[in-house]
Amino acid sequence: MTPDPIFFKNREVAAYRLLDILPIDNMKLEDWTVLSTSCSGYPIASIIAKELNAKLDMMFSKKIFAASNNECEIAIVTEAEEVLIHEELVKSFDISLDLIYGQSQFLYENELSYEINNFRNGEKLTNLNGKNILLIDEGLNTGLTMMACIKSAIKLGAKSISVAVPVIPTASITTIDSIADDLYYIKKLDHFISIDFYYDTLDEVKFEDIETIKKD
């Protein structure tokens, strides 16, 4: 089988290619808040927010992994205290829901709260009432994090929720389309490998890097 080609040189290229497919002129007629759903997606979100003259922020979340496989995501907890569980995996690993909710609470109190405090000086992302939200990431693997962030935005009262990612597994499209108002992507793939496979350069984005981008 021939490997899939590299689609994006780096995050900056991916951001400008997303701008090409977003209805920017129409979007500029309304106020938008752009939320990155990961540290890795923040550089892309920053470029798009500047083009839209939109507020830029983050939707913080943490992944919960199966005890027997530290690469297998079984749940996500967001800063809105939304917990999204991959039910099939939880059943297959016979994992207790009490355990998942316990881990969620631990992550919220010990990691998410710390990051929120440093990023927004302790202010939570608590009220999106009447706001148009554009959720951005560098790509989706399972789509679990994005789904959790969409549900969190709904919980926080968003007027509309759109999602924009450079690359997405075909299998995730229907699920996201079912609860988001709009979904924008450049490439969809039936046989998805991993996000970094489709970028020529995809350096790690650390929390400190986001602080630098915020100052630009």
Average pLDDT value for residue range 123-137 = 91
Whether residues 51 and 155 share a domain: the answer is yes
φ/ψ (deg, to 5) at 163: -125, 135
pLDDT in tens, 160-184: 999 999 999 999 999 999 999 999 9
Q: Supply the pLDDT for residue 70.
A: 76
**Any domain includes 142:** yes
On the question of pLDDT at 126 being above 70, the answer is yes
Entry field: residues in the chain: 216
Burial class (CB in 10 A: 0-12, 13-18, 19+), 180: buried
Whether residues 145 and 203 share a domain: the answer is yes
Q: Supply the pLDDT for residue 4.
A: 56
- Sheet containing strand 69-78, strands side by side: 61-66, 69-78, 83-85
Whether residues 110 and 145 share a domain: the answer is no
Q: What's the domain count of the chain?
A: 2
User: Could you tell me the residue range of the domain that residue 72 belongs to?
Assistant: 63-119
Burial class (CB in 10 A: 0-12, 13-18, 19+), 123: exposed
pLDDT band at 3 (very low <50, low <70, confident <90, very high): low
Handedness of CA 87, 93, 96, 99 (dihedral sign): negative
pLDDT band at 124 (very low <50, low <70, confident <90, very high): confident
Can you give the CATH number for the domain in which 144 is found? 3.40.50.2020
- 4 versus 149: the higher-pLDDT residue is 149
Whether residues 154 and 170 share a domain: the answer is yes
pLDDT in tens, 49-83: 999 999 999 999 999 998 877 778 899 999 999 99
Whether residues 80 and 147 share a domain: the answer is no
Q: Supply the pLDDT for residue 36.
A: 97
Whether residues 132 and 162 share a domain: the answer is yes
**What is d(CA 159, CA 78) in angstroms, rounded to the nearest whole number?**
19
pLDDT band at 202 (very low <50, low <70, confident <90, very high): very high
Residue pair 112/62 in contact by the 8 Å Cβ criterion: yes
Q: Supply the pLDDT for residue 167.
A: 97
Residue pair 180/151 in contact by the 8 Å Cβ criterion: no
For residue 38, CA distances in Å to 41, 57, 68, 192 come to: 5, 10, 25, 19
Q: Would you call 198 helix, strand, or coil by DSSP?
A: helix
- Mean pLDDT (the chain) is 92
Q: Which two tokens stand for residue 79?
A: 């800063």
Q: Which of 103, 119, 135 is the last residue of a domain?
A: 119
Question: What ranges make up the beta strands (E) of 67-145?
Answer: 69-78, 83-85, 132-136
pLDDT band at 150 (very low <50, low <70, confident <90, very high): very high
